A and B are shown apart, each in its own frame.
Chain A
Amino acid sequence: MGTLHTINKSPFERNSFATCLAHASAGDVILMIEDGVVGARKGSSFAPALAAKLASCAIYALGPDLAARGMKPEDVLEGVKLVDYAGFVDLTTEKARVCAWL
């Protein structure tokens, strides 16, 4: 079933996002929450790394946290899906475990 990885810090603040990308196995799911949603921004210097990971992992961003940071769905890298908190709960049930990259 794989792992759900939650990432809550911007890739421009810490290297935990990059470490998460390096560790997530094929079939795992990555969910950006809190300041982590900054990593979803289209056209950023981090976007190519995230886009490359889309080939092996489903990647989501928490919609309310995007909105709280003034980001619109059209600002988000293509292929990244948006979920609300109910969707966050569903992702935790769909994977076997949750790894929080704090």
Chain B
Amino acid sequence: MRFGIVVNEGPYTHQASDSAYRFAVAALEKGHEIFRVFFYHDGVNNGTRYTVPPQDDRNLQKLWSELAEKHGLDLVVCIAAAQRRGILDANEAKRQGKDGDNIAPGFRISGLGQLIEAGIQADRLVTFGD
């Protein structure tokens, strides 16, 4: 089956990103496909590579990036939510006149249309948030 996953909450807030990650891993282990993971609202904060949690804590950004690399996942960060929270890729940094970008490996910035498409293309859309 083909899944879309929505993450509406940042890392280390409650548990949404952890739950979504563990759900994604379990789905992939069962042979399901993940069409896209869409990070919305504070969920965009999962996608900054400047995340530096203590060494004995889980690094959710790194976990997502590694999962994306291993399974070719499409991790999409909502552009409007990202701009409000200072999540930028190189193009956006240039366009906004900022001095650097911080998007994490495996993540890309795009629009809400990507969420709509995930809702259409996926057999199940599973949402995690606050």
From DSSP, what is the main secondary structure of chain A's interface residues?
helix
Interface size class of B (residues with CB under 8 A): 20 to 34
Known: A35-B14, A93-B1. A86 touches B26 (CB 8 A): yes
| In the assembled complex, B93 has its CB within 8 A of some CB on chain A | no
* Interface residue from B3, B19, B29, B129 paired with A86 (Cβ < 8 Å): B29
| In the assembled complex, B85 has its CB within 8 A of some CB on chain A | no
Indicate if the CB atoms of B14 and A85 lie closer than 8 Å.
Answer: no
Shortest distance from the beta carbon of A7 to any chain B beta carbon, whole Å: 12
| In the assembled complex, B69 has its CB within 8 A of some CB on chain A | no
Indicate if the CB atoms of B29 and A102 lie closer than 8 Å.
Answer: no
* Interface residue from B14, B19, B32, B123 paired with A89 (Cβ < 8 Å): B32
A93 to B125 Cα, complex, angstroms: 11
Number of interface residues of A (CB under 8 A): 19
Indicate if the CB atoms of B124 and A93 lie closer than 8 Å.
Answer: yes
* Chain B 7-48 interface 0/1 with A at a Cβ cutoff of 8 Å (1 = within): 010000011100100110111011010000000000000000
* Interface residue from B3, B19, B127 paired with A34 (Cβ < 8 Å): B19
A89 to B29 Cα, complex, angstroms: 10
Indicate if the CB atoms of A98 and B8 lie closer than 8 Å.
Answer: no
A14 to B23 Cα, complex, angstroms: 24
Shortest distance from the beta carbon of A71 to any chain B beta carbon, whole Å: 15
Q: Which residues of A contact B14 (CB under 8 A)?
A: 8, 34-35
Known: A86-B29, A89-B30, A93-B124. A100 touches B129 (CB 8 A): yes
Shortest distance from the beta carbon of A6 to any chain B beta carbon, whole Å: 8
A100 to B27 Cα, complex, angstroms: 17
Chain A residues packing against B (C-beta within 8 Å): 6, 8, 33-35, 64-65, 84-86, 88-90, 92-93, 97-98, 100, 102
Return the 6 tightest CB-CB contacts between A and B, nearest first. A85-B26, A100-B127, A102-B129, A34-B15, A89-B27, A89-B26
